[in-house]
Amino acid sequence: MYNKNIYKDISSAKKKEIEKFANDYEDFLSIAKTERLAVEEIERLAKKSGFREFKKGDSVKFGDKLYFINKGKNIILYVIGFSDITEGLRILGAHIDSPRLDLKQNPLYEKKEFALFDTHYYGGIKKYQYVTTPLAIHGVVVKKDGTKIKVDIGEDPKDPVIGIPDLLIHLSADQLQKTAAKAIEGEDLDLIVGSIPLEKEDKEAVKKNILKFLKKKYDFDEEDFSSGELEVVPAGRARDFGLDSSMIASYGHDDRVCAYTSLRAMLDLEGTPKYSVCGLFVDKEEIGSYGCTGAESVFFENTVLELLHSQGKDSIYNLRKTLENTCMLSSDVNAAIDPIYASASDENNGARFNYGIVFEKYTGARGKSGASDANAEYFAKIRRVMDENDIHYQTGELGAVDKGGGGTIAHISAKYNMEVIDAGVAVLNMHSPMEIVSKADVYETYLAYKAFAKNL
């Protein structure tokens, strides 16, 4: 099933399954627009499928379905297999953060009788893609007494949206001489959020009116922004794309497409697997995986220790043995060959839409620098499992040599000496406000993750 177009020989039953899965995925994308919202939605779906939150002192036995949540931004699921835990795990590891704009700690200001929010972009974006497009805001403001206020504005069709202005074409003669990197500067990614002045106010009356609105609706004051995490993302639902509706257009496919398919692979796993299966959903990948909710955190290691502890086996020896015996798919997206910019990819080695899950041996840039570069022996085993389960798969790389590059969380897990390879869905327009994936690839990736979890 290597390098074959899924639609070349497809049953009508499978077409229906693809469509059903795509609808579920679009619902997930439309709710899980930030890492915090993704954790909430993953927890909700896991609970519905019989998972329970691990509590210290729990005894853990085969067949158990458990989860751990780290500070609301990182969630880890386990299905305990019938082999001893120290024989190793089968990990599906995806990230649930996506590129976006974050409000600064002191964001609100007034200029020319407009109220604006100042932002600092998060992750790699082409800044010009974020102007003149409707944006929503999600996140929390935490007050000194610990009260956590949830903010969600811009998704409900009845909600207002916010956005960043761009200079009208009529007056853009100077701007259009600049390079694309400089046409919109980072400090100019500020959002217009209001224009009505507060009555009987002379100074910063529009800003004061916005503060009054925030106080009334959310009960917080200007200085409470300083302990807030407010994230600005493209507004609106995920939608079918293409006249044949074969694709999905949405913000956040990188990497919620691999998070959702990994999650569903775990939720839909039939019977008790041989090896314990772990779904690792991490934050901060787009800014280097640092931070206590990112892949570099020892939180994951601590959850493995908790499982071993619950069985009276929590020695450092058993922890290292478990991790070394583990096999992982670093579930992350790959760059699809773009028909208009095909020369950015190598035709024989780039990923194609509708050819199934993409296995990426190496990432990195300038001579694979920064890649963990998976082992041939490991990928050979995975190929066998894919073929035995009739799963369409292909290999890919992040662009032609020296065109750029990128990274994933694979190298972080590899330091435990576990086998790991990147595997996920091919994406067009990666990191843009409207990323595109193929519905057939999404479904095939789900099947591939399930086969890996049960059969490798």
Q: Which is nearer to Mn ion, 255 or 397 (CB)?
A: 255
Q: CB within 8 A of 421, min separation 6: which ones?
A: 328, 329, 330, 359, 360, 361, 374, 378, 379, 382, 410
Q: State the nearest-atom distance from the C-beta of 258 to Mn ion, in Å.
A: 8
Q: State the nearest-atom distance from the C-beta of 451 to Mn ion, in Å.
A: 22
Q: Which is nearer to Mn ion, 254 or 360 (CB)?
A: 254
Q: How many CA atoms lie within 13 A of 438 on its CB side?
A: 24
Stretch that binds Mn ion, among 50-58, 82-90, 330-338, 410-418 (CB under 5 A): 330-338
Q: Which is nearer to Mn ion, 136 or 409 (CB)?
A: 409
**For the chain, what is the HEC assignment?**
CECCCHHHCCCHHHHHHHHHHHHHHHHHHHHCCCHHHHHHHHHHHHHHCCCEECCCCCCCCCCCEEEEEECCCEEEEEECCCCCHHHCEEEEEEECCCCEEEEEEEEEEEECCEEEEEEEEECCCCHHHHCCCCEEEEEEEECCCCCEEEEEECCCCCCCCEECCCCCHHHCCCHHHCCHHHHCCHHHCCEEEECCCCCCCCCCHHHHHHHHHHHHHHCCCHHHHHHEEEEEEECCCCEEECCCCCEEEECCHHHHHHHHHHHHHHHCCCCCCCCEEEEEEEECHHHCCCCCCECCCCHHHHHHHHHHHHCCCCCHHHHHHHHHCCEEEECCCEEECCCCCHHHCCCCCCECCCCCEEEECCCEECCCECCCCCCHHHHHHHHHHHHHCCCCEEECCCCCCCCCEECCCHHHHHCCCCEEEEEECEEECCCCCCEEEEHHHHHHHHHHHHHHHHHC
Q: Which of 229, 231, 332, 444 binds Mn ion (CB under 5 A)?
A: 332
Q: State the nearest-atom distance from the C-beta of 37 to Mn ion, in Å.
A: 17
Rounded to whole angstroms, the Cα distance separating 137 from 192 reads 12
Q: By CB under 5 A, how many residues form the interface with Mn ion?
A: 3
Q: Which is nearer to Mn ion, 331 or 394 (CB)?
A: 331
Rounded to whole angstroms, the Cα distance separating 113 from 422 reads 50
Q: State the nearest-atom distance from the C-beta of 433 to Mn ion, in Å.
A: 14
Q: State the nearest-atom distance from the C-beta of 96 to Mn ion, in Å.
A: 10
Q: State the nearest-atom distance from the C-beta of 350 to Mn ion, in Å.
A: 17
Read off the tokens for 130: 């974020």
Q: Which is nearer to Mn ion, 224 or 283 (CB)?
A: 283
Stretch that binds Mn ion, among 79-87, 135-143, 247-255, 367-375 (CB under 5 A): 247-255
Q: State the nearest-atom distance from the C-beta of 343 to Mn ion, in Å.
A: 22
Instruction: Give, in degrees to the nearest 5, the angle at Cα 361 between 81 and 28.
Output: 60
Q: State the nearest-atom distance from the C-beta of 435 to Mn ion, in Å.
A: 10
Stretch that binds Mn ion, among 147-155, 192-200, 326-334, 445-453 (CB under 5 A): 326-334
Q: State the nearest-atom distance from the C-beta of 364 to Mn ion, in Å.
A: 14
422 contributes a contact to Mn ion by CB under 5 A = no
Q: Which is nearer to Mn ion, 107 or 279 (CB)?
A: 279
Stretch that binds Mn ion, among 11-19, 52-60, 295-303, 327-335 (CB under 5 A): 327-335
Q: Which is nearer to Mn ion, 107 or 294 (CB)?
A: 294
Q: State the nearest-atom distance from the C-beta of 286 to Mn ion, in Å.
A: 5
Q: Which is nearer to Mn ion, 86 or 438 (CB)?
A: 438
Stretch that binds Mn ion, among 147-155, 248-256, 259-267, 345-353 (CB under 5 A): 248-256
Stretch that binds Mn ion, among 27-35, 172-180, 325-333, 358-366 (CB under 5 A): 325-333
Nearest position to Mn ion, beta carbon: 255
Q: State the nearest-atom distance from the C-beta of 445 to Mn ion, in Å.
A: 14
Q: Which is nearer to Mn ion, 255 or 306 (CB)?
A: 255
Stretch that binds Mn ion, among 214-222, 267-275, 324-332, 440-448 (CB under 5 A): 324-332
35 contributes a contact to Mn ion by CB under 5 A = no
254 contributes a contact to Mn ion by CB under 5 A = yes
Q: Which is nearer to Mn ion, 332 or 360 (CB)?
A: 332
255 contributes a contact to Mn ion by CB under 5 A = yes
Binding positions for Mn ion, rule: CB under 5 A: 254-255, 332
